[in-house]
Amino acid sequence: MALPTLHASCNHGASLHTKHIVSGGHDRIYLLESSFLARQSFRCTSGTQRLSAEKPRKSFSRIAWAAAETDIFTATADFQELEIPSFPRPTPPQSFKSRFADDQPRKGSDILVEALEREGVTDVFAYPGGASMEIHQALTRSSSIRNVLCRHEQGEVFAAEGYARASGKVGVCIATSGPGATNLVTGLADAMLDSIPMVAITGQVPRRMIGTDAFQETPIVEVTRSITKHNYLILNIEDIPRLIREAFYLASSGRPGPVLVDIPKDVQQQMSIPDWNQPMKLQGYLERLPKPPQLSQLEQILRLISNSRRPVVYCGGGCMNSSKELREFIDLTGIPVTTTLMGLGVFPSSDERCLHMLGMHGTVYANYSVDKADLLLAFGVRFDDRVTGKLETFASRASIVHIDVDSAEIGKNKQPHVSLCADIQPALVGINHLIKSRNLSFDFSAWMKELNEQKLKWPLNYPKDEDFICPQQAIELLHEVTQGNAIITTGVGQHQMWAAQWFKYDKPRQWLSSGGLGAMGFGLPAALGAAVANPGVPVVDIDGDGSFLMNIQELATIYVEQLPVKIMILNNQHLGMVVQWEDRFYKGNRAHTYLGDPRNEETIFPDFLKMAEGCKVPSARVVKKSDLRKAIELMLETPGPYLLDVIVPHQEHVLPMIPSGGSFNDIITEGDGRRIY
């Protein structure tokens, strides 16, 4: 269903069509049609004055939902009563000392770089090419921005993601036109699904060549439109200061996400005197940002908590900036907490009230708690299929409260009984204030006792009497040696799930992994970005041999930049997660999942130690369980980067496991690839 404005609180799953590319002098607007999924909600920004000037429609989601399910209470957050902070509104540009005189003309590329400086950017991940050379030349003239030269554009976009995930700042990557820009696509999709604030800048062919199939021309705005929060094609040099400010604000406000800025080479080469005081044109977007919650909405949530006997908090990546408020809420109420893969670390794993991860490979007791709960408090989550399994049976006994910053996520997969479109942080500030001001107390000790019994009955486990190294043991030992004080990145597969289960995360932004997209090759470049953002903090990439090979070229980057990234490869010579599914559901038939040398299966192939040696990165291989601790200690003690190749059996399975589309009653807790199913 096409709507004339970008109001997106309706028709979850429908497409919205708008025109949103801005450019031109004398307020002339160039328009290109685009299609957004309604899930973008307030993510989208009106790109023209005509659109943004229209008065937003009132949300009719309440009417639609009430008609569909009369016991649903839907609350739209609004300014009311409580003194709770809202999203920061755009502020005028702060004082900045430019290296240019105020009336001195400069190139568009220099204006772009200064715009980045004014946004506080200190690190970018950029790979040069013909259409972006001017930007790189301008970067060499900057005294405050460091460029980390990754060896592949996919490496740089994952590194920018790792930087953003580990720091909370907007990650910045820059690529040339054509293949350079298209190599960013996987990372942009990943950032979109995981709500990571990022600005990707791409060079483009000169304006007169756009649409002529020029050398290295791709319409990257069209290519990335559905996998970015917003994108721009800058056709007027005078727009650069304003659009860069808008890009950073859009990327970091509301539900964060990636914004792409495409700049033709001739615009980069033009000369102009920039106007740094241009106001942003985001009125439509600003009007759709959630407001602080009403007192009545928070009171309704408190009434449900007071009337419940078995409540559970189910929190995700949307709580990443609300960890302090979440911990206070749990201290005040005593409600047990389970987290999604993206939410690891927002509540301490070492806390006795933590039930750890839920979902397909979550703990039995976490999934048990949701199955038996009478109240599910869903904070900053989207009811992903890997969490819910069969939707009809997920939290089927519970009243559901859903608080999320994106209205399109509310009711998209699972209908809540009480919903609140608001940022989690001010919502929790308000709830905590009400609990303390009214001296409310809660007693869920009987419920906690029941869950503790489940913890004792169904602990995570792995074979401990075998001679080989269990992958779970390697991660558990890494946690023990580091005492949990490390940033962990992963690729995607079995090693990712084991890292989520066996390393305990007590702080937010300690766990960096590709959640929604599940992009192999994420681990090493993300670790690179995290190390740039957090110098002096141990960063360990727990990777699989399949995932690691996909961006192995970044070994060169971590050596040249002397980044202290440690790489622990759990090498089973297979695509382990696919092998596990082959064992469970395809009678063990191997369909192109062996990654070693089929002519010599006794050797380890490829030889990661020789590859590391070629990049001057120290490395070692460990096969015996008795050597594992010393090998990990040596890895962590060695200055700079280090690669440890840990040989593990391919027969191990990630357990527990709820088969895709299954329910809690279908959970698998035992078995491996050594038996036939």
List, by residue number, the catalytic residues: 153, 215-216, 265, 577
Contact of 218 with 182, CB cutoff 8 Å: yes
Question: What's the rounded Cα separation, in Å, for the pair 67 and 632?
Answer: 59
Closest C-alpha to 379, from 454, 326, 433: 326
Nearest to 409 by CA among 42, 108, 20, 85: 42
Alpha carbon of 219 to those of 210, 225, 233, 262: distances in Å? 8, 10, 10, 9
In a 3-state reduction of DSSP, which class is residue 123? strand
Cα atoms in the Cβ-side hemisphere of radius 13 Å centred on 387: 24
Residues in the chain, total: 677
Q: For 371, which DSSP code? A: H
Strand order across the beta sheet in which 171-175 lies: 146-148, 123-126, 171-175, 198-204, 258-264, 230-233
Residues 366, 370, 376, 381: is their CA dihedral positive or negative?
Answer: positive
The torsion defined by the Cα of 166, 171, 174 and 179, in degrees rounded to 10, comes to 70
How far is it, in rounded angstroms, from Cα 663 to Cα 395?
A: 10
Nearest to 475 by CA among 509, 500, 510, 455: 500
**Are the beta carbons of 567 and 644 closer than 8 angstroms?**
yes
Structure tokens of 150? Answer: 């990754």
Residues with Cβ within 8 Å of 342's Cβ and at least 6 positions away in sequence, in order, are 194, 316, 317, 515, 516
Taking alpha carbons only, the member of 36, 32, 420 closest to residue 45 is: 36
**Which pair of tokens denotes residue 315?**
């929190």
Q: Angle 535-538-539 (CA atoms, 0-180°, nearest 5)?
A: 95
| Torsion region of 380: left, alpha or beta (phi above 0 gives left; psi -120 to 50 gives alpha) | left
Across the strands, what pairs with 171? 198
Q: What is the largest CA-CA distance in the chain?
A: 77
Cα–Cα distance measured from residue 21 to residue 218, given in angstroms and rounded to the nearest whole number: 16
Nearest 5°: CA angle at 172, between 170 and 173? 155
Sequence-ordered alpha helix ranges (H) in 382-444: 385-388, 424-437
